[in-house]
Amino acid sequence: MYKLFQTDNGSRGSLAEVWIDEEANLVKKYYKPSGITITGKEPYHTDIEEIKECYLREVFWTNKYPDFTLKIFDHGALENGEGFYIIQEYGGPDLVHEIFNDKTITIAEIENFSDQVLEMFNQYKEQNMYKLNNALCNMVYDRNTKTVKTFDFKYARERHAQYRHLEIYSVTEWISKIDPVLPKKIINILV
The pLDDT of residue 123: 97
Q: How confident is the model at residue 12 (pLDDT cuts 50, 70, 90)?
A: low
Query: How far apart (Å, rounded) are the C-alpha atoms in residues 39 and 108?
Result: 29
Over pLDDT 90: what percentage of the chain? 95
Q: Are 58 and 86 in contact (CB under 8 A)?
A: yes
Query: How far apart (Å, rounded) are the C-alpha atoms in residues 2 and 89?
Result: 13
The pLDDT of residue 49: 98
Please give the average per-residue pLDDT across 6-16, as a whole number: 79
The pLDDT of residue 191: 81
CA-based torsion, 163, 166, 168, 170: positive or negative:
negative
Query: How far apart (Å, rounded) are the C-alpha atoms in residues 156 and 145?
Result: 26
Query: How far apart (Å, rounded) are the C-alpha atoms in residues 143 and 59?
Result: 25
User: In the predicted model, is pLDDT for residue 82 greater than 90?
Assistant: yes
CA of residue 98 relative to chain centroid, distance: 15
Strands (E), the chain: 3-4, 17-21, 26-31, 72-77, 84-89, 129-130, 139-142, 147-150, 157-158
The pLDDT of residue 186: 97
The pLDDT of residue 10: 60
Count of CB atoms situated within 10 Å of the CB of 28:
19
Of the CA atoms within 13 Å of residue 24, those in its CB half-sphere come to 12
Q: Are 4 and 39 in contact (CB under 8 A)?
A: no
User: In the predicted model, is pLDDT for residue 11 greater than 70?
Assistant: no
Please write the tens of the pLDDT for every residue from 114-164: 999 999 999 999 999 999 999 999 999 999 999 999 999 999 999 999 999
The pLDDT of residue 179: 94
